[in-house]
């Protein structure tokens, strides 16, 4: 992978982060891009799954900080 490869991956992950929190479906973009840049399929899927954990956590934090969730109805 050349020096342009990591820059391309950073740009793709940054752009798809906005899509993922709202609609999901970034795996349809990120996994093929990683495979096209030479990352093996197992590594591409594993990297994507790790990224989805962080994106889901980032989308959940604003709801936990705000008044959107009635705390008295949550299981302790």
**pLDDT digit string (tens) for 42-68?**
999 998 898 888 877 877 787 777 777
Rounded to whole angstroms, how far apart are CA atoms 35 and 30?
9
In a domain, 75, yes or no: no
pLDDT range class, residue 76, cuts 50, 70, 90: low
- Please state the pTM of the whole predicted model: 0.65
In a domain, 46, yes or no: yes
| Whole-number pLDDT of residue 43 | 94
| Whole-number pLDDT of residue 46 | 94
Q: Which residues does 29 contact at the CB level (< 8 Å), separation at least 6?
A: 12, 16, 19
pLDDT range class, residue 1, cuts 50, 70, 90: low
Rounded to whole angstroms, how far apart are CA atoms 20 and 45?
16
Average pLDDT, the chain: 82
- CA distances 31 to 53, 59, 63, 72, Å, are 15, 21, 28, 40
Q: Which domain holds residue 46?
A: 19-24+39-63
In a domain, 55, yes or no: yes
Rounded to whole angstroms, how far apart are CA atoms 40 and 18?
25
């Amino acid at each position: 992978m050349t020096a342009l490869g990591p820059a391309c991956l950073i740009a793709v992950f940054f752009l798809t982060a906005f899509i993922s929190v709202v609609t999901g479906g970034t795996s349809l973009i990120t996994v093929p891009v990683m495979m096209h840049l030479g990352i093996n399929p197992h590594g591409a899927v594993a990297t994507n799954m790790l990224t989805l954990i962080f994106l889901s956590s980032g989308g959940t934090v604003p709801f936990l900080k705000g008044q959107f969730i009635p705390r008295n109805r949550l299981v302790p």
